[in-house]
């Protein structure tokens, strides 16, 4: 009874705004920040319940709207494993976010607690993080109140963090490991240094990397990290302290979608190795400016190219280990947005490739099926997962092989990669360090890396429609089942082009239908995308 009173009382503080219908979507709730207090408060309650359900394990709550505009915000939950909130709880998240009165909210919670057999007595624990958005602080207070309205539950404010930092910390905490932000940095620094020390002969002068921090949290964290690292020379722009606006004309989403230089970069950077983070630093892309004559166009190295580089490096280590190494199931997970040339490239390397639905929760799940599973979305979100059994096999081999031998070094590199890469979620900071050390290992410039394969020309457009749910796709999202007949019409368009490929799907984060097209020339890709867009309208 006191529990019900507690929620009734606090929920009076957070009335739901009129006429908003929210959905947990591809990446949590997102909306204009002014509409979100009641949602974040309610997700606070949900997080406490999630913790209680899982024996009071620590759960994470992150306040961010990633690459969206600064006036937006959002909230997503990290499960105790460091992964995304279990999809089984998403319907409950939708229900409580949309409950129109305190009474309805309480009754939904009561039913859910009974159905899930959650014991309220013990008290849960929720760690709260936020990005640099000005609305974050106020929303964090709402989350705290939500968490604490479940009696006995504690909310711990862990401050301004990147999304992957929070996921990493939650995962470490629940594994009984040191889990502060400095532990996170220390882990990156140690494993990066280990990989540097294992470079056979350093073939390359270390050239400066120029980083676009999207005017968000990632650039600021990189400034801290840089202080602990040698063998990495990085100049950081768009830190948000020089007047720039978060994600405005900057950042990984902008560079990947527009394929033009972000603000703060220009002709003086021609040929330099450059990288962009998104607003909460879970996406990473690289680029370079080919020459001044190309206007503001960049040569983009997207998530697919990062994936290919990682796959190549890991495969190389497995080959060094020899027959036993070749038994490791190394696989790749992509989405329908992956450039066809990248898929061909990893297949030619002899790797298994599987396709998952858009949204990292889907890719992560599939990557867990391998001994080493590498997943990336073309937009730069991805990571590498090592299975427990393969990791313990590696650690065993470290003892078997004689120190300093090629096999010992290869095994040590793989162990270091498993420590460096964030196994909870895609992480721009750790991904960047891995790219940098692999380039040094190979002795490659960014241009040389780009030559691994040539992207097929592609085009993405979005179409605003009255009701995006009218488009229903197959599970791999490559064929539209509804509206009836539209797939036949799309197929007829595709047939007109050499190497044509196109598909449509409703966005999970915006009110649009996305169109993707590939063809052998840029003109053809553009024209295919446009004609398919016409069919959607
Ligand atoms: P939607 O809006 O569902 O396409 C976008 C990205 C996803 C993922 C989410 C979450 C594309 C085509 N889609 O989802 O890959 O990153 O946002 O941020 O890039
Ligand atoms: Zn993001």
Cα–Cα nearest to 317, from 408, 402, 399, 426: 408
Cα–Cα nearest to 66, from 133, 137, 129: 133
Kindly state if the Cβ of 379 falls inside 6 Å of ligand 1. yes
What's phi and psi for 84, nearest 5 deg? -70, 160
Kindly state if the Cβ of 507 falls inside 6 Å of ligand 1. yes
- Give yes or no for residue 315 having a pLDDT over 80: yes
* pLDDT band at residue 132 under the 50/70/90 scheme: very high
Judge whether 174 is annotated as a binding position: no
387-411 residue pLDDT tens: 999 999 999 999 999 999 999 999 9
> For residue 48, what pLDDT is reported?
98
338-391 residue pLDDT tens: 999 999 999 999 999 999 999 999 999 999 999 999 999 999 999 999 999 999
- Give yes or no for residue 251 having a pLDDT over 90: yes
Give the pair of three-digit tokens for residue 234: 């990085």
Q: Cis omega (within 30 of 0) on the bond before 508? A: no
> For residue 24, what pLDDT is reported?
87
The answer to whether the Cα torsion of 417, 418, 419, 424 is positive or negative is positive
Residue 256 CA: nearest ligand 1 atom is 19
> For residue 19, what pLDDT is reported?
67
- Give yes or no for residue 202 having a pLDDT over 70: no
- Give yes or no for residue 204 having a pLDDT over 70: no
> For residue 264, what pLDDT is reported?
96
For the chain, the structural domain boundaries read 2-160, 304-427, 458-536
State the distance from the centre of ligand 2 to the C-alpha of 282, rounded, in angstroms: 5
Residues around ion ligand 2, judged by CB within 5 A, are 66, 278, 280, 282
- Give yes or no for residue 210 having a pLDDT over 70: yes
State the distance from the centre of ligand 2 to the C-alpha of 281, rounded, in angstroms: 6
In this predicted model, which residue has the larger pLDDT, 338 or 202?
338
> For residue 384, what pLDDT is reported?
98
Contact 283, 380 (CB under 8 A): yes
Weakest mean pLDDT among 13-17, 163-167, 429-433? 13-17
**Which span out of 70-79, 193-202, 285-294, 462-471 was modeled with the highest average pLDDT?**
70-79
Kindly state if the Cβ of 26 falls inside 6 Å of ligand 1. yes
Cα–Cα nearest to 503, from 335, 252, 329, 352: 335
* CATH superfamily of this structure's domain 2-160: Alpha-D-Glucose-1,6-Bisphosphate, subunit A, domain 3 (3.40.120.10)
Judge whether 507 is annotated as a binding position: yes
* pLDDT band at residue 122 under the 50/70/90 scheme: confident
In this predicted model, which residue has the larger pLDDT, 284 or 537?
284
42-100 residue pLDDT tens: 999 999 999 999 999 999 999 999 999 999 999 999 999 999 999 999 999 999 999 99
Q: What number does CATH give the domain 458-536?
A: 3.30.310.50
Query: Of the residues 507, 510, 517, 529, which should be mutated to test ligand 1's pocket, given the most ligand atoms within 8 Å of the CB?
Result: 507
Q: Helices 181-197 and 406-420 sit at what angle, rounded to 10 degrees?
A: 160
218-248 residue pLDDT tens: 999 999 999 999 899 999 999 999 889 999 9
Distance between CA atoms of residues 380 and 510, nearest Å? 19
pLDDT, the chain, mean? 95
**CA 226: distance to chain centroid?**
22
Residue 505 CA: nearest ligand 1 atom is 4
- Give yes or no for residue 482 having a pLDDT over 80: yes
- Give yes or no for residue 214 having a pLDDT over 70: yes
523-534 residue pLDDT tens: 999 999 999 999
Residue for token digits 């930092």?
165
How many C-beta neighbours within 10 Å does residue 175 have?
Answer: 12
Q: Which residues of 39-77 are buried (b: 16+ CB within 10 A; e: fewer)?
A: bbbbbbbbbbbbbbbbebbbbbbbbbbbbbebebbbbbb
- The predicted model gives 125-146 an average pLDDT of 98
Cα–Cα nearest to 508, from 74, 136, 99, 34: 74
Task: Indicate if 304-427 has the same CATH topology as 2-160.
Answer: yes
| This prediction's pTM | 0.96
What's phi and psi for 500, nearest 5 deg? -70, 140
- Give yes or no for residue 26 having a pLDDT over 80: no
Q: Does domain 304-427 match CATH 3.40.120.10?
A: yes
- The predicted model gives 185-209 an average pLDDT of 89
Query: Of the residues 29, 356, 359, which should be mutated to test ligand 1's pocket, given the most ligand atoms within 8 Å of the CB?
Result: 359
Query: Of the residues 25, 26, 30, 512, which should be mutated to test ligand 1's pocket, given the most ligand atoms within 8 Å of the CB?
Result: 26
Cα–Cα nearest to 149, from 43, 250, 74: 43
Active site includes 458? Answer: no
State the distance from the centre of ligand 2 to the C-alpha of 135, rounded, in angstroms: 17
Residue 55, by phi and psi: left (phi above 0), alpha (psi -120 to 50) or beta?
left
Give the pair of three-digit tokens for residue 21: 């219908």
- The predicted model gives 251-280 an average pLDDT of 96
Given 66, 276, 418, 430, the catalytic residue: 66
Kindly state if the Cβ of 461 falls inside 6 Å of ligand 1. no
Q: Strand 125-130 to strand 58-63: parallel, antiparallel, or no bridges (unpaired)?
A: parallel
- The predicted model gives 26-39 an average pLDDT of 91
> Which listed ligand is nearest to 163 at the C-alpha?
2
> For residue 457, what pLDDT is reported?
94
- The predicted model gives 127-150 an average pLDDT of 98
């Amino acid at each position: 009874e006191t529990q019900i009173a507690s929620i009734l009382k606090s929920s009076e503080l957070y009335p739901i705004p009129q006429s908003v219908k929210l959905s947990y979507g591809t990446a949590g709730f997102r909306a204009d920040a002014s509409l979100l207090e009641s949602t974040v408060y309610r997700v606070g309650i949900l997080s406490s319940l999630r913790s209680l359900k899982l024996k009071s394990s620590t759960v994470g709550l992150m306040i961010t709207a990633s690459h969206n505009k600064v006036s937006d915000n959002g909230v997503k939950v990290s499960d105790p494993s460091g992964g995304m909130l279990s999809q089984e709880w998403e319907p409950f998240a939708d229900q409580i976010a949309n409950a129109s009165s305190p009474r309805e909210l309480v009754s939904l919670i009561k039913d859910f607690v009974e159905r899930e057999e959650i014991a309220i007595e013990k008290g849960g624990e929720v760690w709260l993080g936020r990005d640099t958005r000005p609305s974050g602080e106020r929303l964090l207070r709402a989350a705290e109140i939500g968490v604490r309205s479940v009696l006995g539950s504690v909310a711990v404010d862990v401050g301004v963090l990147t999304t992957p930092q929070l996921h990493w910390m939650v995962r470490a905490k629940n594994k009984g490991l040191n889990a502060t932000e400095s532990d996170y940095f220390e882990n990156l620094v140690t494993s990066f240094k280990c990989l540097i020390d294992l470079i056979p002969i350093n073939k390359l002068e270390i050239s400066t990397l120029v980083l676009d921090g999207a005017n968000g949290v990632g650039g600021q964290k990189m400034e801290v990290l840089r202080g602990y690292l040698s063998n990495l020379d990085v100049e950081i722009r768009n830190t948000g302290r020089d007047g720039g606006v978060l994600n405005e004309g900057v950042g990984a989403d902008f560079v990947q979608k527009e394929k033009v230089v972000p603000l703060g970069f220009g002709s003086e950077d021609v040929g330099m190795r450059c990288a962009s983070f998104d607003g909460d630093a879970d996406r990473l892309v690289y680029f370079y400016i080919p020459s001044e004559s190309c206007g503001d166009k960049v040569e983009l190295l997207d998530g697919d190219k990062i994936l290919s580089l990682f796959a190549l490096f890991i495969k190389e280590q497995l080959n060094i280990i020899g027959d036993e190494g070749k038994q490791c199931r190394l696989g790749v997970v992509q989405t329908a947005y992956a450039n066809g040339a990248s898929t061909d490239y990893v297949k030619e390397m002899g790797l298994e490739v599987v396709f998952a639905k858009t949204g990292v929760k889907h890719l992560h799940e599939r990557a867990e099926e391998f001994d080493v599973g590498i997943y990336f979305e073309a937009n730069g979100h991805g990571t590498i997962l090592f299975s427990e059994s393969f990791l313990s096999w590696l650690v065993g081999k470290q003892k078997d092989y004689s120190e300093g031998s090629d096999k010992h070094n290869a095994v040590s590199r793989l162990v270091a990669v498993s420590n460096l890469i964030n196994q909870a979620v895609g992480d721009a900071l750790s991904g960047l360090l891995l790219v940098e050390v692999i380039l040094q290992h190979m002795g490659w410039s960014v241009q040389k890396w780009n030559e691994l394969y040539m992207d097929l020309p592609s085009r993405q457009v979005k179409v605003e429609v009255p009701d995006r749910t009218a488009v229903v796709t197959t599970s791999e999202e490559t064929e539209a089942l509804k509206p009836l007949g539209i797939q036949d019409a799309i197929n007829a368009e595709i047939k007109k082009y050499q190497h044509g490929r196109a598909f449509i799907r409703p966005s999970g984060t915006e009110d649009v239908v996305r169109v993707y097209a590939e063809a052998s020339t840029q003109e053809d890709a553009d024209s295919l995308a446009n004609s398919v867009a016409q069919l959607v309208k």
